[in-house]
Amino acid sequence: MTRISKRAALVTENWLIPSDGYYGIFSYGVRFFGEKIAVDLAFINNRDIAKAIIIGIPFVSFTVKFGN
């Protein structure tokens, strides 16, 4: 994650899944921060997905802070 402003960051996550070698999946996108919420707007991709959808599969994630 790299902050680009007080309320936004560029993010990436990468996974290696063992199966007859390793199968790689990665995601990239933007995370927006609020007082009690974070929202990710990203794409999930790998070599197989890119054959059908070059930029990847759209992905949206919400994280909410409960309590104090």
Helix, strand, coil share of the chain (percent; to 5): 10, 65, 25
Q: What is the pLDDT of residue 21?
A: 85
Q: What is the pLDDT of residue 19?
A: 85
d(CA 35, CA 31): 13
Average of per-residue pLDDT across 16-24: 89
Q: What sign does the dihedral 16-65-10-44 (CA atoms) show?
A: positive
> Tens digit of pLDDT for each residue in 46-65?
999 999 999 999 999 999 99
pTM here is 0.83
Return mean pLDDT, the chain.
Answer: 94
Secondary structure letter of residue 47 according to DSSP: H
Q: What is the pLDDT of residue 20?
A: 87
